[in-house]
A and B are shown apart, each in its own frame.
Chain A
Amino acid sequence: MTSVPAVLRSEWTKIRTVSSTVWTLISALVVTVALGAALSAVLNSTFAELPEPQQATFDPTYTSFSGRVLGQLAMVVFGVLVVGSEYSSGMIRTSLAAVPRRGTFFFAKVLMAGVPALVVGLVTSFLAFFLGQALLGDHGTGIGEPNVLRAVIGNALYMTLIALFSMGVAAMLRSSILSLGILVPFFFLVSQILAAVPGAKEVAHYFPDQAGSRILRVVPDAMNSDAAPYGPWGGLGIMVLWVAAALLGGFLVLRKRDA
């Protein structure tokens, strides 16, 4: 039998020895934290100008995570490159010749990429939260308030799940360029736009990012957001199903196709 710890070690070496790992994960952190901080600062200085209902349902936690929409793209790039670079370089054949058990190979890779994504996700979330709250001043909230810690941890899980989803998609499409060409516009544009269009938003509620990001909302239905047919954990559950489906699809493609 293939030694699983040996394959995990090998995949960890692959992750830590390419510079794309460092710059994608740092981008995710910097973009998420910086944009959240900027928006928090802006909202703090213009809070009095907000319409009454928005002031009443203001969600300081969600506001400090405003950088998510852009920051998640760095996580997409990270996830796609972890898998896609095996194909673009032709290394997949060398890798599978060394580890012919394709399930072991694939899930070791996903696990070894998922761990740093989660660690960076946690650091990012706490940084974004505390910096955002500091900049929101009197309008901020505390980590001890109800559901706030859930949202902070939830943002870390969200970032990790986005990376894992991207790995599954890249394994199905077997190409970095193709995967990025689909995932980046989808998360940055398609999903955001459809979620705001009446009629389409009932479907968009079930998109992985829309469902998963529900856990970031501490004030339900805050700031004119629509009521979703699921709670915060239900939403994250939907996202987990998407991720599981993508990874399963990626694994099946890897197992069935010629390398």
Chain B
Amino acid sequence: MIEVEGLTKHFGRKVAVDDLSFQVRPGVVTGFLGPNGAGKSTTMRMMLDLDIPTGGSVRIDGRRYRELAEPLKHIGALLEAKAVHGGRSAYNNLLCLAQSNRIPASRVDEVLDMVGLTAVAGKKSKGFSLGMGQRLGIASALLGDPEILMFDEPVNGLDPEGIHWIRNLMKALANDGRTIFVSSHLMSEMALTADHLIVIGQGRLLADTSMADFIRENSRSYARLRSPDRERLKDVLHSAGFTVVDSDGGALEIDGATTEELGELAARDGIVLHELSAQRASLEEAFMQMTAESVEYHAHTGPEGDRPRPAWGLGGRDHQGEGA
């Protein structure tokens, strides 16, 4: 259990984290979501007593981090890939960490095996790929067999196989009853792994909700229509009491209508349809809207009035409606 209360961090005049309060509960994967620069990494560093908060506190199982005698046995963290000495072998990098917390050396072999690095245990870590570095970081997080695990953007830069592996690992760890806290700027990633969501933007808490609730509240369903006889179709829809919204490519979007009733309506008036489909707004879009005002770095690529384009990654499209 992690309790964050009133956590605040100022860098000079810039407020990176602003009065943040939330709890991370055991037995579930809690996703920590926000655009780049929202303060996720700063918050995580403060949780580990690496950055000193301007205000507020973090309690790990009721205690401050630096009060933990052997912290690796309580909480394991992956902050950045390759936060190790490149000139030291993978084994020795883990061995110094293990020794500092009185973890037996045999555990080093165990975690190397768990992350699949046994074959390169004696190799200097500077030759490691990003994926191998990430696995080494996860091995160090698992060293003390901790109840709490914290991962900062664990899938960044990984290949699909590596991403798949990390997802399954996090789920397996949560099923053991452990507390998992994982940050991401990708909603699509969170939708696949997280049970609970904490969303921040510009250092402020925007949402603290279960994944299921979030999907229920934020996935808008609508129907999409295209017709060569567009104006007549609009009139018919209007007179039937539907609210019609113009969409791109001459298509029309109607909220809260089934494709069945719209199809029958068009048939009754003999209107030709080129498209009639049920649509669901992606969770990615819901996130973009939620954080639009708090996104720090807008990409000013479109004309005035263009939809804000926060720094979410791509990849939101391929899971439309998933998990609903």
Binding site for B on A (CB under 8 A): 1-3, 6-7, 9-11, 13-14, 17-20, 85-86, 89-91, 93-101, 256, 258-259
Contacts and interface: CB of A to CB of B under 8 A. Distances in A.
A100 B51 CA distance: 11
Nearest to A19: B87
B102 A258 contact: no
B95 A13 contact: yes
Contacts of B50: 93, 96-97, 258-259
B23 to A, nearest CB: 21
A172 B85 CA distance: 20
Contacts of B51: 258-259
Contacts of A2: 69-70
A2 B88 CA distance: 25
A18 B50 CA distance: 25
Contacts of B221: none
27 contacts: A2-B70, A3-B102, A10-B96, A10-B100, A11-B96, A11-B100, A13-B99, A14-B85, A14-B96, A17-B89, A18-B88, A89-B83, A91-B83, A93-B80, A93-B83, A94-B79, A94-B84, A94-B97, A95-B100, A96-B49, A97-B48, A97-B71, A98-B71, A100-B48, A100-B49, A100-B71, A258-B50
B288 interface: no
B277 interface: no
A174 to B, nearest CB: 14
Contacts of B45: 93, 258-259
Interface in B50-103: 50-52, 65-66, 68-72, 77, 79-80, 82-89, 92, 95-102
Given A258-B45, A258-B51, 12 more contacts: A3-B70, A6-B102, A9-B99, A10-B96, A13-B92, A17-B89, A17-B95, A17-B96, A85-B87, A86-B85, A89-B82, A100-B71
Question: Interface residues of B: mostly helix, strand, loop or mixed?
Answer: loop
B291 interface: no
The 10 closest A-B pairs by CB, nearest first: A10-B100, A100-B66, A17-B92, A10-B99, A258-B51, A259-B50, A90-B83, A13-B96, A94-B83, A9-B99
A254 B77 CA distance: 21
B140 interface: yes
A97 B68 contact: no
Given A2-B69, A3-B70, A90 B82 contact: yes
A194 to B, nearest CB: 36
A32 to B, nearest CB: 24
A93 B86 CA distance: 15
Contacts of B140: 94
A7 B70 CA distance: 10
A258 B10 CA distance: 12
A90 B49 CA distance: 16
Contacts of B71: 97-98, 100
A207 B101 CA distance: 40
A89 B128 CA distance: 14
Contact of B99 (A6, A85, A91): A6
A131 to B, nearest CB: 32
B83 A100 contact: no
Given A93-B80, A100-B68, A6 B101 contact: yes
Chain B CB within 10 A, most for which of A9, A17, A19: A17
Nearest to A1: B69
Contacts of A18: 85, 87-88
A192 to B, nearest CB: 32
A18 B86 CA distance: 9
Given A10-B100, A100-B49, A3 B87 contact: no
Contacts of A20: 87
Chain B CB within 10 A, most for which of A2, A7, A19: A2
A100 B65 contact: yes
A7 B79 CA distance: 21
A93 B70 CA distance: 15
Contacts of B68: 100
A91 B85 contact: yes
A119 to B, nearest CB: 21
Chain A CB within 10 A, most for which of B69, B92, B100: B100
B321 to A, nearest CB: 39
A91 B136 CA distance: 13
